[in-house]
């Protein structure tokens, strides 16, 4: 069953690209914009996160935190973050538990890959409830950035 608006967000602790533990609970009292993406260094994933990078000031000004999550290792994510100058944390869901909890995981992906995160976006409110949920089946599509910006406002 997919997550619904109004439900409590599944809690998690993941390792960041800086090799530090990051918990969703750390951000209670702030809105959190979570972007799941399939794989670092791919075209659409780079576009997705660069769009958020370029909008970072807008979200920061609204007391909102951006987090990017993929099944890549924290070491891969560190290089991806460095090369693209992302100001926000990239989190490794290497064990696929968070992607699964959020309903954002492919059983089968391209080239026979299994357990790759789907492209998805969630907005969590200050009380850690879901106020926006978008899970895309087509990895070539991008989330609705305008709708995300509106819900955070």
- Which positions are catalytic? 45
Buried b / exposed e over 23-57, threshold 16 CB at 10 Å, is ebeebeeebbbbbbbbbbeeebbbebbeebbebee
Distance set, CA 55 to CA 35, 62, 93, 137, 142 (Å): 13, 11, 24, 24, 15
Q: Which residue, 98, 100, 142, is CA-closest to 120?
A: 142
């Amino acid at each position: 069953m997919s997550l619904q608006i109004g439900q409590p967000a599944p809690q998690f602790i993941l390792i960041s690209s800086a090799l530090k533990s990051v918990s969703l609970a750390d951000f209670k009292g702030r809105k959190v914009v979570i972007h799941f993406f399939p794989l670092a260094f791919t075209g659409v994933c780079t576009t997705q996160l660069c769009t958020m990078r370029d909008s970072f000031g807008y979200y920061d000004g609204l007391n909102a935190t951006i987090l990017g999550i993929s099944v890549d290792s924290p070491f891969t994510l560190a290089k991806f973050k460095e090369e693209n100058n992302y100001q926000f944390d990239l989190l490794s869901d290497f064990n696929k538990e968070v992607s699964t909890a959020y309903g954002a995981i492919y059983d089968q992906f391209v080239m026979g890959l299994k357990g790759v995160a789907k492209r998805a976006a969630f907005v969590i409110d200050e009380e850690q409830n879901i106020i926006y949920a978008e899970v895309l089946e087509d990895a070539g599509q991008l989330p609705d950035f305008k709708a995300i910006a509106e819900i955070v406002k």
